[in-house]
Amino acid sequence: MKTKLKNRFRHGLAMTIPALALATALAGCATAPPKSDTADYQAYQQLNDPLEPTNRVFFKVNNTLDRYVMKPVAEGYVHITTQGIRNHVGDFASNIDEPARMLNFMAEGYPRDAGTSLVRFLVNSTVGIGGIFDPASALGYPETDTDFGLTLASWGVPPGPYLYLPAFGPSGVRDVWTYPFDWFATPMEAAPASAALSDFGYSETGIHLINTRAGLLSTIDQINATALDPYATFRSLYRQSRASQLQQIQQRDTRTWPDWYHQPAK
C-alpha cells in the first residue's frame, strides 16, 4: 500500500511540477523597464505581462491544438449529447472538487462556506448519486467556487506576472499553485490507490475538459472572430474573472460558523 501511495504521489508531482517549474523560471526572466522610462514602466505596471512574447508563443501552440483536437472533439461531444447530460457531467466534476473548496474556505477564514462545501459533498455524493445530480442546491446549499489561488490572494499574495502555460492556458505566478494543491485535495487522491481508480481519474479529467470546452464553443469562436487581438482579450477576461471571484468571496458575510455546527465556547 505504501508503495502504491508513493507511486501515485510521484505521478501527481510529475503532472504538476513541470508547470510550476516553468512558471517560476519564466517569472525569474521577467525584467521591469527602468522607472526613468515613464511610459514603458506605466505600461508594464498596467499589463503585468513582462513575458508577453513567450506567452504569445504558447498561446499560438494551444490555439493550434485546440483548433485541430479539442474543438472538433467538443463539437462531436455536443452533437451526441443533450444539454441536460452535459449539465450532469458538470455537476459530477464539480462535486469532486468540493473537498478542495472546503479546505480552501477554511484556510481563507470562511467556516460557513467550508461547512456548505462539506454538506454539498456529502449530500450530492449520496442522494445525488455521486454528484450527477445536485439536490444540495435545492436544500439551500448553493455552490460557491474558490481555489488555492484565491486562498493565496486572501492572504495578501500579489497575482504576479501573467502566464500563459502550455496545455493549462491562462494563469499567473500566484494562480499556478492552484493546480498541485487542488489536485492533491481531490477524493481520488485520498482513496486507496488502484489501477481502476487511476483509470477512472484519467477518464474523469478527460471528460471534464471536453465538457468544459463544449460549454465555451460559441464564446471562444466569437472572441477569435471579432477581437482585434484575441491574446489580449483572453488575458483581460481572465484577470477580470479572477478579480470578480475574489471580490465575491470577500463581500460575502460568511465568516461565521454554519447554523448546524455547535460553535465552540469563547
Residue with the three cell numbers 494562480 = 175
Provide the residue-wise pLDDT of the chain in tens; the chain has 266 residues. Answer: 444 444 443 444 444 555 555 555 555 555 566 666 666 655 555 578 989 999 999 999 999 999 999 999 999 999 999 999 999 999 999 999 999 999 999 999 999 999 999 999 999 999 999 999 999 999 999 999 999 999 999 999 999 999 999 888 999 999 999 988 888 887 766 555 555 556 666 788 889 999 999 999 999 999 999 999 999 999 999 999 999 998 888 887 666 655 655 555 44
Q: Look at residue 129 and tell me if it is in a domain.
A: yes
Specify the pLDDT at position 2: 43
Q: How many residues does the chain have?
A: 266
Considering its fold, how many domains does the chain have in total? 1
Q: Which domain holds residue 171?
A: 2-251
Specify the pLDDT at position 24: 55
d(CA 119, CA 122): 5
Q: Look at residue 44 and tell me if it is in a domain.
A: yes
d(CA 54, CA 38): 24
Specify the pLDDT at position 179: 86
**Residue 74: is it exposed, middle or buried by C-beta count within 10 angstroms (0-12/13-18/19+)?**
buried
d(CA 59, CA 64): 9
Q: Look at residue 258 and tell me if it is in a domain.
A: no
Q: Look at residue 160 and tell me if it is in a domain.
A: yes
Q: Look at residue 266 and tell me if it is in a domain.
A: no
Q: Look at residue 264 and tell me if it is in a domain.
A: no
Q: Look at residue 261 and tell me if it is in a domain.
A: no
Specify the pLDDT at position 83: 97
Which residues fall within 8 angstroms of residue 149, CB to CB, at 6 or more apart? Answer: 172, 174, 175, 176, 177, 178, 242
Provide DSSP, 157-221: ----SEEEETTTEEEETTGGGHHHHHHHTSHHHHSPP-HHHHHHHHHHHHHHHHHHHHHTHHHHH
pTM: 0.78
Q: Look at residue 70 and tell me if it is in a domain.
A: yes
Specify the pLDDT at position 231: 97
